[in-house]
A and B are shown apart, each in its own frame.
Chain A
Amino acid sequence: MNMIELTGITKRFGDHEVLKQVDLTVKKGEVVVILGPSGSGKSTLLRCATFLEEPDAGTVRIGEHEIPAGGSQTREKTAKIRALRQNTGFVFQLFNLFPHKTALQNVMEGPVVVKKMPEAQAKSLALKLLAKVGLADKADAYPSRLSGGQQQRVAIARALAMEPLVMFYDEPTSALDPELVREVLHVMKDLASEGMTMVVVTHEMEFAREVANRVIFMDGGVIVEEGTAEEVFGNPKEDRTRRFLYHVQK
C-alpha cells in the first residue's frame, strides 16, 4: 500500500520552475532519502507535499488525505490541509521549537491544542517521547538551554506526539555542529527500524547507505535517478548523479 502519493507536483517561484511535474510514491514503512544540489527542489517538494507552499499543479495524497493543488482557499480546503498536516510529522532544518515553552510543553502542545487531549495524558505521552529521544532529563529545559542536537531531538518528539502516519525531514542535521549530527541520526534510525514511513532530505550519505530503502537524486526540479543506495551510489546511471556524488564524496 502506498502511504504517500505525489502526482505531477509543479511549483513556480515567479518565472523559475522549481518543481516540474514530480511524481513520488512511498510505501508504508519505507525510508526514502532525497539527495541533490541546493536549488534542486528537494526541500520545496516536502513543503509542497504539506502545503507550506501551495503547489501550482498536482495532487498530494498522504494516507487517506488527498488534496489537489490550486483552487480557491475555501474553508473546506483549509480543513483538509490541516487534517493532512496532523498526520504528517515535519522536522525543520532550524528546529523551530517554541522558545517560550519548555521541552515538555513543546511536545505537549500539539496533542493538547489540536487533539484536545487532557493535560495529564499529554504529559505522560510527552515524557515517554522525550525518553525515547534520550532527553527525559531535559523535560523542564527551555530550548535556549539545549544544544542544537538536543533541540532537534525535541523537535522530533514534538512531531511524533501527533502520532503521524509519515515523517518528513528537511535537512535535519544541516544546521548542527558535526559532533551533534550522530545523536539526531541515531534517533531517526531507531524510528526507521520501528517501521515509520519517512522521507528525508539530507546530505548524510552514510545515513542513506545504512537506512534508506530507496535513494532519490533530484536536480533542476525533476527526479533524475532513483534506486537502492547501492545502485545510486555504486553505479549511477546518469551523468548528473555521478558529478554530484563525485563532489560530495570528495
Chain B
Amino acid sequence: MLLTHLPFLLEATLVTVGLAVASMLIGLVIGVFTALARISKNKLLYRISSTYVSVIRGTPALVQIYIVYYGLPQIGIELDPITSGIVALSINAGAYLSESFRAAIQSVDKGQLEAAYMLGMTYGQAMRRIIIPQSIRTAIPPIGNTYIGLLKETSLVSVITVTELLQMTSLLIAKTFEPLTYYLIAALIYWALSSGFSYLQSRLEIRVTRHVRQ
C-alpha cells in the first residue's frame, strides 16, 4: 500500500523543492535590491523598501498567500495556484533576506569602501566588486535559515490547492485513514530536505571563508 503511494509522495516532494528553490532565487534578487535601497541615501527608495519589509514581516505568510491567490483576481490579476504560491513566497522571503543582506553589507569594514573609493571606484563598482562579495560570507548562515524556513512554509500553499508534499499527504490520508503514518512520513521528508540543505550550506561556508582570518 505504502509502496504504491511512494511515487506520489516523491512527485509532491519535487513540487515542494521546486517551490522553495524558485521562491528562494527570486527572493534573493528582491532581497539584494531591497537591501541596497534600505542603505541608500535616497529617501524615497528608503521609505518604499522599509515599508515593504515592515509589512511583510508584520503579517502572516498565510494571509499573504490568500491575498495573492484569492485577493488579486478582484483587481483582474488571476494567477494559477503554483504561480501564486511562488509570487507570495518570493515576496515573503525577499523581505527577510533583505534584512540579512543589509546586516551583512553593513558588517563589512568601512575601510573597504574607502579603499575602493580611493582607487576611483563609483559606489556601484565598490558594491559589486568589493563590498557585496565580502558580505556574502556573513550572509550565508542567515540565508540558510531563511531557506529552511521557506522550505517549511511551502506547506502553506496547500491551502490554495497546490499539490505539494502536505497536500498530497492529506489526499493519501483521505484514502487510507492512516494519518499518523503519513504525517510522519511527510515530516521525515521535510526533515531530510532541511538536513540535506544544512549539509550543503556548511560545505559552502567552508569554501567561501577559506581566505579569511577568523
Known contacts A113-B125, A114-B125, A162-B120; A100/B211 CB under 8 A? yes
The CA-CA distance from A52 to B114 in the complex, in Å, is 7
* Chain A residues, CB < 8 A from B111: 92, 94, 96
Known contacts A82-B122, A99-B134, A114-B125; A52/B211 CB under 8 A? no
Bin the interface of chain A by size.
20 to 34
Q: Say whether B211 contacts A85, CB under 8 Å.
A: no
Query: A86 interface residue, CB < 8 Å from B?
Result: yes
* Chain B residues, CB < 8 A from A97: 115
Closest to A87 in B: B120
Query: B212 interface residue, CB < 8 Å from A?
Result: yes
CB contact list, A63-106 vs B, under 8 A: 82-83, 85-86, 88-90, 92, 94, 96-100
* Chain B residues, CB < 8 A from A109: 119, 129
Query: B121 interface residue, CB < 8 Å from A?
Result: yes
Query: A227 interface residue, CB < 8 Å from B?
Result: no
The CA-CA distance from A21 to B113 in the complex, in Å, is 28
CB contact list, B62-83 vs A, under 8 A: none
The interface of chain A, by Cβ under 8 A from chain B, is 50, 52, 82-83, 85-86, 88-90, 92, 94, 96-100, 109-110, 113-114, 142-144, 155, 158-159, 162
The interface of chain B, by Cβ under 8 A from chain A, is 109, 111-112, 114-122, 125, 129-130, 133-134, 211-213
Can you list 26 A-B contacts (CB < 8 A)? A50-B118, A82-B122, A85-B119, A85-B120, A86-B120, A89-B118, A90-B115, A92-B111, A92-B115, A94-B111, A96-B109, A96-B112, A96-B115, A98-B130, A99-B211, A100-B133, A109-B129, A110-B120, A110-B121, A113-B125, A114-B120, A114-B125, A144-B213, A155-B115, A158-B119, A159-B118
